[in-house]
Amino acid sequence: MLAARLCFAWGIPDVYGWLNSQPKEVIDFWEAFDSIEPIGEAWMQSARIGMQVSMGQALEPRPTMDDFLPPRFHKDTRRGNDSIEIARKQLGG
């Protein structure tokens, strides 16, 4: 999916062609980058709208922002934020 999001954002019509033309290091870099700063912000706008709409509903239990975020942004209490730290190191941060 990362390759599809990159190609969509960059206007590249051939996802498989682009993906096959890139060395593994390039894909690893963009995967690390995407884990810290997601490519394309439409997911965040959708989450905010969903949260705002839910605030006007009588829902039990009350939804949290995590309920509207993509699964990879949910906090994993078993591992903490290891994946974010790994991505930061890969990006040199």
For helices 24-36 and 2-10, what crossing angle results, to 10°? 90
pTM: 0.47
Residue type present at position 62:
R
Q: What mean pLDDT is predicted for residues 29-50?
A: 77
* Separation CA 83–CA 11 (nearest Å): 29
Q: Is the pLDDT of residue 79 over 70?
A: no
Domain ranges in the chain? Answer: 2-90
DSSP state of 92: T
Better pLDDT: 85 or 45: 45
Cα distance between residue 33 and residue 40, in whole Å: 12
Q: What average pLDDT does the structure give for the chain?
A: 76
Phi and psi torsions of 69, nearest 5°: -90, 155
Kindly report which listed range (5-9, 55-59, 79-83) carries the lowest average pLDDT score.
79-83
